[in-house]
Amino acid sequence: MLIDIGEYLFRVDSAPPIVKNNLNLMYGDAIINSSTAPADFTISLKHDSLLRKFLKPQVTFYLGNNSPFKPLPASQSYPVMEWGMNWCIAATDFNRLIVHAAVLVKNNKAIVFPATPGSGKSTLSAYLALSGWKLYSDEMAIIDLDTLQVKPLFRPVCLKNESISLVKQWFPQSIFTGTAKDTQKGDVAHLKINSLAEYKTFSPVEIVAIVFPKYQKNTQTEPFKISKIAGFEKLAGNSFNYNILGNTAFDTIQKLVERTQQVEINYSDLSDVDDLLTSEFTL
């Protein structure tokens, strides 16, 4: 099984049936049935022993013959596969600046949303993407070092805990995997956003803003412009490969900060955030 997510090709050598079923559900026509086509990453998800398959079953993610993670419960198989794919990109691609962030696009303008866990980034991504925005990524911004444009990835959104039921309530026709319980991130389910046909209309676009969202219950939606220095520090702190790229990463982030606005947004109402972003950045 070969999965084309746009910038990268993943060959899945082996995986439990439930993982293959979910890969088909999330990636659909992006799956190529070829045993000979080249791939950027060859990955697999395996039971390391027959005993582990039946007694407290666990699975291990592999890139080639090496495993970067400890075994995890088999009930978490699909999230482990998606997290492993994220790791492959973040740990090995040094030709682009890669930032832990969501990327949403409207009217050919991109907003990058770096955020810490618990900020509501993925919930916001899902809401905007199902409300007329284009989802370029939920987990990582792939930024060209020369053009500073951000590139799209064909990936689902990873939702956690209460967000799963909220998005299902808001968008009843949405396509979800089953929910994996009690992972290191809580309860987790993946949400398909784009069809492959929609994704193929996406192209690299200019970044107009770096927005740092923070969900706070019962708070009024309010933006706070931050200094260029603070914006630089926050963006660098969310970059997966800043230390590896060194001066190149420094120069890239400096140019990005100079060309874009950097804003923190406290919010509790997602529709208010949509309206605010559209008016604030003339989308």
pLDDT tier, 92 (very low <50, low <70, confident <90, very high otherwise): very high
pLDDT tier, 49 (very low <50, low <70, confident <90, very high otherwise): low
* Per-residue pLDDT tens digits for 197-236: 999 999 999 999 999 999 888 888 888 999 999 999 999 9
Beta-strand pair 222-225/261-267 = antiparallel
* pLDDT for residue 52: 58
Average pLDDT over residues 69-77: 92
Q: What percent of the chain has pLDDT over 70?
A: 97
Mean residue pLDDT across the chain:
92
* Per-residue pLDDT tens digits for 114-156: 987 778 899 999 999 999 999 999 999 999 999 999 999 999 9
DSSP assignment letter at 28: G
CATH class of 99-283: alpha beta
Cβ(19)–Cβ(81) under 8 Å?
yes
Q: State how far the Cα of 46 lies from the Cα of 72, in Å rounded to an integer.
A: 11
Give helix 270-280 / helix 121-129 axis angle, nearest 10°.
70
- Give domain limits for the chain: 1-92, 99-283
Q: State how far the Cα of 52 lies from the Cα of 129, in Å rounded to an integer.
A: 39
pLDDT tier, 47 (very low <50, low <70, confident <90, very high otherwise): confident
Q: State how far the Cα of 37 lies from the Cα of 86, in Å rounded to an integer.
A: 21
For every residue of 242-269, DSSP letters joined together read HHHHTHHHHHHHHHHHHHSEEEEEEES-
Where is pLDDT greater, at 112 or 56?
A: 112
Average pLDDT over residues 72-97: 95
Q: Is the pLDDT of residue 23 over 90?
A: yes
DSSP assignment letter at 95: S
Backbone angles phi, psi at 185, to 5 degrees: -110, 10
